[in-house]
Amino acid sequence: MPAMSAVRCFSPVLSVTCCRNVSSTSTQGTRRRVVVTGAGAVTPLGVGVETSWSRLLAGESGIGQLYGDEFAEIPSKVAARVPRGSGDGQWQESSRLDRSESLATRFALSAATEALSMAKWKPTSDEDCSRTGVCIGSSLPGLQEILESGQSLKQGGYRRVSPFFIPRILVNMPAGVISVKHGLRGPNLALSTACATGIHSIGEAVEKIRHGTADVMVAGGTETTIVPLVVAGFGRARALSTHFNSEPEKASRPFDSERDGFVMGEGAGAVVLEEHDHAVQRGAGILCEVVGYGLSGDAHHITAPNSDGSGPMAAMTYALNDAGLQPSDVTFLAAHATSTPLGDAAEASAIRSVFKDHCQRLHITAFKSAIGHLQAAAGAVESIFAMLAVNKAQLPAIRNLNTPDTGSCTHDMNFARQNVSLLNNASEGSTVPVRRVAVVNSFGFGGTNASLCIRSLPS
């Protein structure tokens, strides 16, 4: 999340051994295992997981100029939009749109449909439909509709307000539409925790499967807030990049000394989470296993992180403890890293506090350097990229990282400044069989923090 306070390196007194699991059941007990069998994405790099992933590996950027008279007075002129058009990997609106669906809902439905197709899961029986749920979050899915409908009411009166206005602005409507379109009658949830929404949605869906409430969950996040009011609001908070307006692909630069703010993005990501034995019994392909979920609150400030990084540190530590892993077991970390001067430094401090000497071997990447900040969708899309990296043993590099600078924590951190092969990447002192393990971070306004721990299956 954007940060507005001073930051320093500090190691709060918190360790893996003293933290309790998020789950109420033991990681070594009978808790049900959760795997990922499908993924779908709509991102600034393109529509579809394979398109987005291949462009990410190729070092391409989804960030461009922010055009339009409505943005003329706003200092930041960069944004990461989903590419529109009729070509491969471009978003093409259907000529038969449901007027009750917002763009955020349509993005989410596209991602969820792709994920279900990849998972080859199309429930038809009463039992399968009732055991498959949805947890898709967002933060401001219908803000443009609110603004436009307010103007319609003011200028034309009651009858100018669309009867579809309310369905288009509800935060739970993306989850609801996915449920209706695919006949999913299990748990139906919609979280809204700002920029931590995507990981929280996946994590809470994991918990539903762990505890037997569902066998399959479609989970993720969606966001479409590149509208003048939101961009102006973040601009007034001085949270957006302005130094690279003429070179937008360079604007998002996590951990770099020239970072000056984040880049607004849009898109959606969804995964199909499934109980391990359920997936194996039906012969589903498995991308990876979700083994840990951690969440915490800063209790510090509504927008700025605590300068000691203790909140993110707690979330990462809880996720590792929930997974039954040690910091030395982790292969790479996908940082939240929005490219704000203070936020990145606070996260680096937290990473250093958790991983200590392992930071020299731990690969650290930041996907926002290529796609900007998708806010409520960020954690979902970035988790998908991390899942692909774990599965394919390829880690995409951080773009625009010329001179790492996060204060005194920088010198011993192993930033992925080029693509990294993760084959046979064993960590020294690891306490588990050799597997690729990733931690993914997302933090949001209000001081909410979430971390996910994912692991490859034995090869």
- 18 a catalytic residue: no
Q: Which of 182, 278, 336, 363 is catalytic?
A: 336
Give the helix/strand (H/E) hosting 294. Answer: strand 288-297
CB 249 within 8 A of CB 102: no
Strand, coil or helix: 205: helix
Identified catalytic residue from 195, 288, 359, 453: 195
Report the distance separating Cα 210 and Cα 225, nearest Å.
33
Q: Which of 359, 373, 409, 453 is catalytic?
A: 373
Buried b (16+ CB within 10 A) or exposed e, 159-187: eeeeeebebbbbbbbbbbbbbeebebbbb
Evaluate whether 292 touches 453 at the Cβ level (below 8 Å): yes
For tokens 């949830």, the residue is: 189
**In angstroms, rounded to a whole number, what is the distance separating the alpha carbons of residues 386 and 366?**
10
Beta strands 46-47 and 34-43, pairing class: antiparallel
Q: What is the dihedral of CA 347, 27, 14, 239, to 10 degrees?
A: 20
Contact 438, 331 (CB under 8 A): yes
Tokens of 119: 């998972």
The Cβ-side half-sphere exposure at 229, using a 13 Å CA radius, reads 9
Residue 336 designated active-site: yes
In the residue annotation, 363 being an active-site residue is answered as no
Residue 67's alpha-carbon distances to 77, 80, 81, 442, 454, in angstroms, are: 7, 12, 11, 29, 38
The residues assigned a catalytic role are 195, 336, 373
